[in-house]
Structure 1
Amino acid sequence: MLEIASLIVINLLIAFAIGTVFGYVIAKGTSYKEVQNDNQSKNKTQSKRFPNSGVNPIFKKSSNLDNKPLVISSPKPSGKDNLKKIKGITNKIENDLNTLGIYHFEQIASWSSKNCDWIESFLLEPGCAKNNQWVEQAKILKSGKETIYSQKVENGEINVG
């Protein structure tokens, strides 16, 4: 009886050793994420607002989702509109809006005041949509007409950075 118990203990120790070695080898190949403090994460957030993940960036914000504007998964087959024709939209903001699912003037033209507030808080740009009258400009551009600002952008007189 004592011999059987000792064989069981030896087999368990061997299994433990093999498991430890395999676990170490497998875990050695995986990468670990570095834990950051708040200051580091704020800097990364400002440099790259939307990390490449499977989660829609809309759901990462703490703002009220009831006020989010209409978004679409991809632009129409005719292509996306040049949102930089709207005063106040830079390359960075256009990329953020595209990542969010806003590609066309008609989407912006349909925004309410609460939608503008939501976008401003999401983009971390207070007053950008309302002060620059994005909705009014988008309504004009949606109809096929041009604004003075959009003509200057189109002609290259204004460099939107």
Structure 2
Amino acid sequence: MVFTYVYAGWEGVARDARVLTEIVSNPENGFPFPPSNKYYLCDAAYPNTRGFLAPYRNVRYWLGDYQRRRAINKEEKFNHAHAQLRNVIERAYGVLKARFPILDKMPPYSIDVQRDVVVACFAVHNFIRKERINDELFNQYDSPQLIFDEEEGEQKKC
């Protein structure tokens, strides 16, 4: 539940895939590609490319879908495992947003101040986690049974 890389300061509206493409294509951004045998998990909006692993499209994906019926083929099993791992990412974002409500509604500061606030929030989040400080929010969101429903933006206990 630690963030590896933060890029803040993109002005305007852009699709996540476009932002990622721009970031990784510029070596000055220092994007840390994973080693050749490792991958970053991404959602279906991203292509499967070097270092990025998306789920199968048009195959059951959300964890709630697997509570009613188990995965039956290799694609569903892969998507289920992928969703379980991505749930950790969603829980990390849940901790971050719960700790720093300023991230949901950034006051009308300049883009430079907004960027610095975002980076500072991620840095404090990572510090608390890495230093293993006993933290109520991490304790609350650490449960693998906690499913963060990305579609609805809410958490559910299973």
TM tier, smaller: under 0.3
Which structure carries more strand by proportion? 2
The TM-score with structure 1 as length reference comes to 0.24
Larger radius of gyration: 1
Q: TM-score, normalised by structure 2?
A: 0.24
Higher helix share: 1
